[in-house]
Amino acid sequence: MKKFIVKIILFILPIIVIAMGLELTLRLIPNIYKHKNDYLNEHGGEIETLVMGSSHTFFGVNPQYFHNNTFNLGHPAQTLDVDYLLLKKYEDRLHNLKTIVVPISVFTLYGKLGAGVEGWRMNNYALYYDIRTSNKLSQCFEILARKMQFNIEIIVQYYFMGERDLACSDLGWGTSYRPEDSKDLLETGNDAAKRHTDYDIHSRQYEDIYRENIEALDNIVQWSNEHGVYVVLLTMPAYKTYRNSSNLDPEILTITIDTSRSFAEKNDNCSYLNLFDSDRFIAEDYYDADHLNYIGAEKLSRLLDAYIRNQYRLDTE
């Protein structure tokens, strides 16, 4: 027995040491989650407009162009349930909050971060926001969030290739979608439309997810109502190759718009801004068919700011 235990310990000791070293190395690399948590802890009380949501708002809404203190708390693939958890997490700090922007994209009502392929991102919420959604121990480790080859890539890029750009502004806006890097709009339109709507919404799984998302959205609206905060439901602009793609399920689009409209009608503190097929956005505004680049983000942010000021007559001076 003693021999067995000694041999096992000797065998796994190097593995544990290397794993701990990698974990530490990864934790020391600045990241968007850590940055946003720090910002909210330090400046949460100054924030007047909070932008939630997925990559659509993370890259598409730049707080710099708002008249009041705005912060972008969006992250790629972030879903409504996580939006609500974040709101609850920082509710004691957000005492100056006046408006919340919640994006309702085509995939929003049928997506759930913890259940999808992007589920590994839940580790970041557990590690940096202390939001745990499962009893899995893997949520406590950076190295277990993603495949080892990606961990190594991150370490090499940061420590050996000097790539230290956080890809996020101080106010939480994603900075990596530059106009010069824009992708093929036709190809990305078809791909994204398929990725976002290629599932059976009448299956039990998706009916459950829809119900849970409606509940999360309702929680956000009710929380806002109790705290005297306005909610703007926002459907982000999408390029025509996405909107008109045969891969886009029109039923899901209709449900998305109808649900948002219904929320706005039922709740006095809620309004709905649908820019899905807005002709103000042209090809040059897009990074790909469903994400805005720098230029598009500026255009949308100014428009959203004007909408909020006009809709709620907020004193921003």
Partner 1 sequence: MLFNTIDFATFLPVVFILYWFVVNRNLRWQNFLLVVASYFFYGWWDWRFLSLILFSTLVDYTVGLRLKNEERLPWRRFLLWTSIVVNLGFLGFFKYYNFFLDNFIRAFTFFGYEIHASSLQIILPVGISFYTFQTLSYTIDVYRRKLEPTRDFIEFAAFVSFFPQLVAGPIERATHLLPQFYEKRTFDYSKAVDGMRQILWGLFKKIVIADQCAHYVNLIFSDYQDYSGSTLLLGVLFFTFQIYGDFSGYSDIAIGTARLFGFSLMRNFAFPYFSRDIAEFWRRWHISLSTWFRDYLYIPLGGSRGSIWKKIRNTFAIFIVSGFWHGANWTFIVWGALNAIYFLPLMLMKNNRKNLDVIAEGRFFPSIRELISMLVTFGLTVFAWIFFRAESLGHAFGYIARLFSSSLISIPFFSGRGEAFYVLLLSMTMLLIEWMGRDCQFALERLGLTWKTAYRYAMYYIIVLSIFWFGGSEQQFIYFQF
Nearer to partner 1, 207 or 258 (CB): 207
CA–CA gap between residue 206 and residue 193 (Å, rounded): 17
- Cα dist from 164 to 160, 195, 265, whole Å: 10, 31, 46
Is 145 a binder of partner 1 (CB under 8 A)? yes
Is 135 a binder of partner 1 (CB under 8 A)? yes
Token digits for 26?
Answer: 């990864």
Is 3 a binder of partner 1 (CB under 8 A)? yes
Centre a 10 Å sphere on the Cβ of residue 103 and count the other Cβ atoms it contains.
24
Cβ proximity of 72 and 22 under 8 Å: no
Sign of the Cα torsion 117, 121, 126, 130 reads: negative
At its nearest, how many Å lie between partner 1 and the CB of residue 194?
Answer: 8
Cβ proximity of 270 and 221 under 8 Å: yes
Nearer to partner 1, 3 or 313 (CB): 3
Nearer to partner 1, 42 or 187 (CB): 187
Of the listed pieces 63-71, 149-157, 276-284, 295-303, which binds partner 1 according to CB under 8 A?
149-157
Nearer to partner 1, 14 or 250 (CB): 14
Sole binder of partner 1 in the list 29, 115, 131, 144 (CB under 8 A): 144
- Cα dist from 101 to 167, 257, 287, whole Å: 21, 16, 21
Nearer to partner 1, 215 or 258 (CB): 215
Nearer to partner 1, 2 or 313 (CB): 2
Backbone angles phi, psi at 49, to 5 degrees: -125, 130
User: Which residues, 205 to 264, sit near partner 1 by CB under 8 A?
Assistant: 208
CA–CA gap between residue 315 and residue 317 (Å, rounded): 6
At its nearest, how many Å lie between partner 1 and the CB of residue 198?
Answer: 8
Token digits for 143?
Answer: 């190295």
Of the listed pieces 1-9, 78-86, 163-171, 229-237, which binds partner 1 according to CB under 8 A?
1-9
Of the listed pieces 89-97, 133-141, 230-238, 301-309, which binds partner 1 according to CB under 8 A?
133-141
CA–CA gap between residue 141 and residue 305 (Å, rounded): 38
Residues that bind partner 1 in the complex, under the rule CB under 8 A? 1, 3-4, 7-8, 11, 15, 19, 119-120, 135-138, 141, 143-151, 198, 204, 208
